[in-house]
Chains A and B, each alone.
Chain A
Amino acid sequence: MKHWYKIIAVILILYTLVWGLLNDVPRLDILNETIRNVYYHVPIWFAMLFMMSVSVVQSILTLTKNKLDNDAKAYNAALVGFFFSIPGLTTGSIWAKYTWGTWWTFQDPKLNGVAISILIYLAYFILRFSVDDELKRARISAVYNVFAFVMMNVFIMILPRLTDSLHPGNGGNPAFAKYDMDSSMRMVFYPAVIGWILFGYWLFEIKNRISFIKNKIHD
């Protein structure tokens, strides 16, 4: 049964879409009902981080095993992660407009870090397209991908915690308690995170199969 995780993904996401709008949330000023965005905006970023982790593992495997399959997988995972970052950014921007009062603020290190990380991964894609030789491309982009993953973690996980951030859980006190989440919110938030990660893995698997077919046709 190889479809089990897809079914779980769909069920979990559907559950969060329905119950995320119905359950009781803490009544907080400024945030108001937008606190429910925690169920949709944050899990998208978790899925993005997960896909980038898959990508870097595949890149390391490319370097150790010297296989082109792993290189294709690393590229596909990064592509799915990149795909998640776009709705992540736009939903965050909309949320920021109605709570922080601006579409984008350069005061927040997490926003800047995410912007830089996206540019780093764009450079990864450009690097891949600019090398023609397959083996060379696999090795160079694998090395770069390890670098990109480390930099992304510095920019979006470490630096925002060292300085002050508008994001909850950042600014010197990384703790889920600061999300102002109560247990009924966690009952939606965690399934949402798992659901979107599994959904991302589904997209990744389809991309892998397509690139496998492409390779067969090229041979």
Chain B
Amino acid sequence: MIKKILSLVLLLSALATSAQETTSSPQMADAFRSEGKIYVVIAVIAIIFIALVAFLITIERNVKKLEKQINKD
């Protein structure tokens, strides 16, 4: 009797696990993220954005210089 119950439990648990495997969730970039290298991409994006902002700031400084020159004249 115990053997029967035990085998039933094992069977059910096996079914449960296989059922979990078959219900596929939508594909996400899990592997990509688990490797941890997504940080590299983020760093690249952030550096590009910071560089653009730095460029914008230098443009703004040039504009400021021109404004000062014009106000002098």
A217 lies within 8 A of B46 (CB): no
What's the minimum C-beta distance from B68 to chain A, rounded to whole angstroms?
Answer: 10
Are B26 and A29 closer than 8 Å at their CB atoms?
yes
Also in contact, A32 and B67, with CB within 8 A (given A17-B42, A202-B56, A206-B59): no
The closest CB in chain A to the CB of B29 belongs to A33
| A203: chain B residues within 8 A (beta carbon) | 56
Given A13-B49, A32-B26, A32-B27: A209 and B67 interface contact (C-beta under 8 Å): yes
> B37 to chain A: closest CB distance in Å?
12
Rounded to whole angstroms, the CA-CA distance of A213 and B53 in the bound complex is: 22
Q: Is A177 an interface residue (CB 8 A)?
A: no
Report the separation of the CA atoms of residues A216 and B67 in the bound assembly, to the nearest whole angstrom. 10
Which residues of A sit under 8 angstroms from B70, Cβ to Cβ? Answer: 213, 216-217
Which A residue sits closest to B43, measured CB to CB? A18
Number of A-B contacts (CB under 8 A): 47
How many interface residues does chain A have, given as a range? 20 to 34
Q: Which of A21, A22, A32, A210 contacts B28 (CB 8 A)?
A: A32
Interface residue from B25, B29, B63 paired with A206 (Cβ < 8 Å): B63
Q: Which of B13-27 contact A (CB under 8 A)?
A: 25-27
**Chain A residues within 8 Å of B, Cβ to Cβ:** 10, 13-14, 17-18, 21-22, 25, 27-29, 31-33, 202-203, 206, 209-210, 212-213, 216-217
Given contacts A27-B26, A206-B60, 15 further A-B contacts (CB under 8 A): A14-B46, A17-B45, A17-B49, A18-B46, A21-B42, A21-B45, A22-B42, A27-B25, A27-B28, A28-B26, A29-B26, A31-B26, A32-B28, A32-B29, A209-B67
Residues of B within 8 A of A (CB): 25-29, 38, 41-42, 45-46, 49-50, 53, 56, 59-60, 63-64, 66-67, 70
